[in-house]
Amino acid sequence: MHHHTTAAFPVVIALFMYALPGGDNAKAEAARKELKRLAGTWECAFMGSNGRVIRSDLGRFFGDEGHRMTILEDGSLVRKTKDGRRFKYRLDPTARPKTWDYLCSPDKGGDKLVTVGIYELDDNELVICYAASGHPRPTDFTFNRGSYRFFEIWHRVKDKK
């Protein structure tokens, strides 16, 4: 009898933790609120990678429209690249620092995790730091030589009335 009680204990703990505020439901609600805050068109003001500033090279990197991205409340991100890839993103605003993961839809087969990162957001500025594919998530907003990180600052594009 004692054996059954011990075996059931981890299951009870797991169910209790899932129901606690701050669990997956609270995380999902925080993400929904953050998606609303992020929705809109953003223009890249600065880009750096691996210790280099590459802002002046954005056209070559992304194509003519590449200096802008449009974020939709459903978690999709329209940021065209010259090779035609379109990205989605997944975020966790409850993490410290907040996490931002890029996903790519190379075909209709689904989303593939491309890279992991962190972000900060105020009303009109979005700062993202992410690792090159296969490298660990950054823990700070540096992009020193040898770090294999990208650093971007985006400004919200105001609607012209």
Q: With contact defined as beta carbons under 8 Å apart, do 23 and 17 qualify?
A: yes
Domain residue limits at 125: 2-156
pLDDT at 108 over 80: no
Q: Which of 51-55, 83-87, 148-152 has the lowest mean pLDDT?
A: 83-87
The predicted pLDDT at position 129 comes to: 96
For the whole model, what pTM was predicted?
0.73
The predicted pLDDT at position 153 comes to: 92
When pLDDT is cut at 50, 70 and 90, the band that residue 21 belongs to is very low
Q: Does residue 31 lie within any of the structural domains?
A: yes
Looking up residue 27, the CATH number of its domain turns out to be 2.40.128
Q: How many structural domains comprise the chain?
A: 1
Q: Does residue 58 lie within any of the structural domains?
A: yes
Residues 132-144: what's their mean pLDDT? 94
Q: Does residue 38 lie within any of the structural domains?
A: yes
Q: Does residue 50 lie within any of the structural domains?
A: yes
- The percentage of residues in the chain with a pLDDT greater than 90, rounded to a whole number, is 32
Pairwise CA distance, residues 109 & 30, whole Å: 28
Q: Does residue 59 lie within any of the structural domains?
A: yes
When pLDDT is cut at 50, 70 and 90, the band that residue 98 belongs to is very high
The predicted pLDDT at position 118 comes to: 97
- Judged on CB neighbours under 10 Å (0-12, 13-18, 19+), 129 is buried
When pLDDT is cut at 50, 70 and 90, the band that residue 45 belongs to is confident
When pLDDT is cut at 50, 70 and 90, the band that residue 110 belongs to is low
* pLDDT one-digit tens code per residue, 55-66: 655 555 555 555
Q: Which of 45-54, 72-81, 95-104, 122-131 has the lowest mean pLDDT?
A: 72-81
Q: Does residue 161 lie within any of the structural domains?
A: no
CB proximity list for 82: less than 8 A, separation 6 or greater:
61, 62, 63, 66
The predicted pLDDT at position 15 comes to: 28
Can you tell me whether residue 57 is helix, strand or coil? Answer: helix
Q: Does residue 112 lie within any of the structural domains?
A: yes
Can you tell me whether residue 34 is helix, strand or coil? Answer: helix
